[in-house]
């Protein structure tokens, strides 16, 4: 799996969300690496990491543990956004001895109903050939009903080839795995929980973490605390980076040792 490591100190692992790559949390990483070893990963089927036909959270959690083993890191603080937050929570529930603390950005440990059909339809209907340009690709996604900021974000996955463009991400694998990505199916008993510090940060204008998720969060993460970033949606770390970075940094500092 592709990753970058920088800085020294207690290790912090940063995990991006669906359709992202390791640059998504680069701003946070730049702040944290002043005090910490920071590892940013490309999740499988994203960025420069390997393509899997299928992926689920136990597999993804194991892949992250492999990165820690590769770097000889025994314990780590983990920060994850959206799908990356679910990977972080899976690591904590399945490998609790490896995790010091969790920061989960705008996602809950629950199954969600599908909400990316428009995105997948826009991506799969985009013809990539020698006539394709970034401008025409952007127009296509916007015409497919995807807002411009999201379209710009998705197009970061395009890479140029000799004959035009191709996707860095494994779009077919993501579509095949989508039910498991929005689901929350772990090999756990009813009593499994992570009994160490966990901070859930939600966007004030996002509908990903709501009051109805509170019981499940507290059942699985009984030490959880919560913060809301007003004036942000699902992309809270990009919309209010200074506040987000400060909250995360302070939480990790409080839970060192």
**Active-site positions?**
82, 234
Residue 131: HSE in the Cβ half-sphere, 13 Å Cα cutoff: 2
Burial classification of residue 152, based on how many CB atoms lie within 10 Å of its CB (0-12 exposed, 13-18 middle, 19 or more buried): middle
Instruction: Give dist(CA 115, CA 207) in Å, integer.
Output: 11
Residue closest to 197 by CA, chosen among 257, 255, 250:
255
Looking at residue 196, the DSSP 8-state letter turns out to be: S
Instruction: Give dist(CA 126, CA 108) in Å, integer.
Output: 31
11 neighbors 37 (Cβ within 8 angstroms):
yes
User: Alpha carbon of 146 to those of 76, 123, 189: distances in Å?
Assistant: 36, 10, 39
Q: Is 151 left (phi over 0), alpha (psi -120 to 50) or beta?
A: alpha
- Token pair, residue 169, equals 């991400």
Looking at residue 163, the DSSP 8-state letter turns out to be: T
């Amino acid at each position: 799996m592709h990753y970058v490591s920088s800085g020294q100190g207690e290790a912090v692992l940063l995990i991006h969300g669906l359709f992202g790559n390791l640059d998504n949390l680069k701003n946070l990483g730049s702040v944290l690496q002043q005090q910490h070893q920071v590892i940013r990963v490309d999740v499988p089927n994203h960025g420069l990491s390997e393509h899997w036909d299928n992926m689920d959270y136990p597999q993804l959690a194991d892949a992250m543990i492999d990165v820690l083993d590769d770097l000889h890191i025994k314990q780590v603080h983990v920060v994850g956004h959206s799908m990356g937050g679910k990977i972080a929570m899976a690591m904590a529930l399945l490998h609790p001895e490896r995790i010091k603390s969790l920061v989960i950005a705008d996602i809950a440990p629950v199954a969600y109903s599908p909400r990316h059909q428009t995105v997948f339809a826009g991506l799969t209907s985009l013809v990539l050939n020698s006539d394709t340009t970034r401008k025409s690709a952007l127009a296509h996604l916007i015409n497919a009903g995807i807002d411009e900021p999201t379209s710009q974000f998705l197009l970061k996955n395009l890479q140029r080839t000799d004959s035009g463009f191709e996707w860095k991400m494994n779009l077919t694998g993501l579509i095949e795995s989508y039910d498991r990505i929005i689901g929350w199916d772990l090999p756990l008993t009813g009593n499994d929980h992570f009994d160490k510090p966990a901070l859930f940060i939600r966007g004030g204008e996002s509908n990903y973490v709501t009051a109805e998720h509170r019981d499940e969060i507290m059942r699985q993460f009984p030490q959880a605390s919560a913060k809301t970033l007003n004036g942000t949606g699902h992309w809270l770390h990009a919309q209010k980076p200074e506040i987000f970075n400060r909250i995360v940094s302070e939480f990790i500092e409080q839970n060192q040792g």
